[in-house]
Structure 1
């Protein structure tokens, strides 16, 4: 397993692989990896001859009051996780390598970026689309792997690849959870002991909603109310959003009569966590 820091190095290595007829899988990350990221690398390793993992904390997807400077970073630790999961190459560029001083070209999207996380984080998905497009152009993978925990991001990337005819297959990967149900996230490291316990309210509220749906509840408003009521019982929790949306278009639904995404974002203390599940009628 090798770590490189320049675009030229990645391109040269991937070009060599492709000359040998090898397939290339790609896992884009912001680092501080956990078992969830490891599962993406493992799946990519099973389905491809070689796997590239990018580790880049992308500055243009953070808002001015968000945690870019404090976002956890540990390349040595990340390298061990990638190697153990079957990765072959880590691309860890600097900000200057990815964005020249006079950088002025962005990839943007309307519609599905405007609700859920996009409603409270203006410019976030422009940053995501721009950096992922650049990474696809640099790595030229056959397949790219994204976690279903970031459901809106996954939907945005799928749409972008479709709309721009980018020749890469997007592979969704299931949410990986801690043994007590908390969805794995690099931001979980921000939680103190009391907050970590309080964070379980996210999965607990979603499990209650899932049970109600299995028992026949079909009102989106009732499902949202049920989730919100459970979340507000936790003193350390502050709701950002609770939504029930069409799983493809991400538009809000009134009656649950097709595939829907039930998605929540909740602040536990100062840490913003997200979780979701898809329900198929």
Structure 2
């Protein structure tokens, strides 16, 4: 798909990933609209002020591509909010679009069954938290309805940790590590998958340009223990290595479902996405080495 003048709707377009994706697509000549609940100042994008949870959500404009990034995170404890945004919101959005050629849905590695040694796109899924259940249900809904409507449907499963200068990574990890207040749930030895936000954006654009019904895991080439990743950051920042906190105590603060996902050990393969996208930062060490001196 040629991006020039392609009409693209981005949900989550004010977020850490979505804002960068919208800008990169805009810079490539695409006609970008973002769906947002709040008025935006000095933006180059078209704006639709509305909410995914609105059952009467409707759009006057038709879009060639829909990139659906908006969701609540696993840290959300309210099951009603998880359901209304991550599942009902997907249904509302689908009802509001017509004539689209491609729907790109952003999910995560948490939907896959962790008992498998190496996660690939065809690995079976497992619903063991409310968050994961709504994610899987939403994907199944989209797969069925995009097929009925003749819309190509692509799923992008993001690595566990998307890092870069800003967003959750900066506020919840970097800033707290610099203040000495970050704590690792459990022993931190569980395997996680990492990807720089610039590579997320680049890979998503490659998926859009391919414009086919398919699925891709978006992660770099080096899954590693979470504690190893954090220690590399602390060494480069010149701060003390973060301390651990027992999982039982962490559950009291973040909730049992969130801790189950945060401490889950999973190793995923990026072989498939690497066939259509060349990673700028193949490992987290390269990505962090590029990032940390700029902070």
TM-score for both structures, normalised by structure 1: 0.41
TM-score for both structures, normalised by structure 2: 0.39
